[in-house]
Each structure stands twice: as structure tokens, then as C-alpha cells.
Amino acid sequence: MSYPADNGGPGAERSLGQLVASATAEMSALVHDEIALAKAELRQDVKRGAMGGAAMSVAGVFALFSLPVLSFAAAYGIHNLGLGLAWSFLIVGGAYLVLAGLLAVIAVSKFKKVKPPERSMASAKQTAAVLGNAKPHPREASVTVSSRPVRPALRGEDEAGVVARSSA
């Protein structure tokens, strides 16, 4: 049962303008909620990506700065144990490459945990499917009005001179 519009009851019929305004407000709220969901999901993935990036950076720093100093110390230490100097340097270099590889594997595993915002994508696809079924309202051609203020011609100026100067 519907109530007359002037009664204002719980089921009062609304005008077309009110329905359009309500639909617009609800659509705007839906879009804002989807954006908020995407931001929340991306924040989590950014944290995971930052951890992977930090691990990769640490691996690079260790490989770059500690390799020369510690390589010489370790190689000469191994050489003092009786192994040839060349073999000592090869053993130390191999050990540092294994360490850098291990840190790179850790970084890759952190990067693989980063996922796309699945809930946001599913929600956006669902919204697009609903909106895809809606038929657009045919619009009439509208007259556009320039937002530039019109300056009156000064004394001694004709209208063509004002237009020529304003477009330059």
C-alpha cells in the first residue's frame, strides 16, 4: 500500500528528481567504498613489497661493500692454512655469491606474496556488469557557454581587434 506524497508516510512516493538524486548519491557512495577497499588492499601489498625491497637492498649492500674487505681477509686467512692464494680467493668469492643468492631467494619469496586487489577487482567487475545493463538516458544537444568574461571594447577599438589580441 502506498501513501500519498503529501502524507509523508514510510512508503511515500518520491518524485523522479528525488529518485535520480538518491540513485546518484548511492552510486557515489558505492564508488567511494570501492576506492577505499582498493586503498586498504594496496596498503597491505605495499608493506609486503617494502619488506621484499628491503631484503633485496640489504643483499645488494652486503654484496657490494663487504665483499672486497672481507674477501681479502678470508682469502689470506685460507692461504695461511696452506692452500694456494688463487684457490683461497675463489673459495671466498663463491661463499659471498652463495650468501647473495640466498638473500635474493628470500626477497623473491617476499615479492611473490604480493597479490593484486582481488576483492576490489571483483566488486568493480560486478558494478560494471550492473551498469552495463542500464540503458543511458538520451540527451539533447546543449548549448555551451564560455567561462571567459567578456571585456567591453575600449574607445577606438573595434570588436575584431579585441578578438585578435585575446587569442594571441
Instruction: Write down the pTM of the prediction.
Output: 0.36
| 83: Cβ contacts below 8 Å, ≥ 6 apart | 91
Domain that holds residue 44: 17-128
In this prediction, residue 78 has a pLDDT band, given cuts at 50, 70 and 90, of very high
159 vs 152: CA distance, rounded Å? 9
Q: How many domains does the chain have?
A: 1
Q: Which residue is associated with the grid cell 570501492?
A: 34
Q: Which three cell numbers stand for residue 35?
A: 576506492
Tell whether 73 is covered by a domain.
yes
Tell whether 153 is covered by a domain.
no
Tell whether 149 is covered by a domain.
no
Q: In the prediction, which pLDDT does 161 show?
A: 52
Q: What does the buried/exposed string (b/e) look like for 132-152 if buried means 16 or more CB atoms within 10 Å of the residue's CB? A: eeeeeeeeeeeeeeeeeeeee
Tell whether 142 is covered by a domain.
no
Q: What are the C-alpha distances in Å from 34 to residues 22, 27, 79, 119?
A: 18, 11, 64, 9
Tell whether 33 is covered by a domain.
yes
Tell whether 39 is covered by a domain.
yes
Ranking 23-27, 128-132, 135-139 by mean pLDDT, the lowest is 135-139
Q: Which three cell numbers stand for residue 114?
A: 604480493
CB 162 within 8 A of CB 151: yes
Tell whether 26 is covered by a domain.
yes
AA identity, residue 99: L
Q: Which three cell numbers stand for residue 70?
A: 672481507
pLDDT per position as a tens digit, 82-131: 999 999 989 988 998 898 999 999 999 988 888 888 888 888 888 877 77
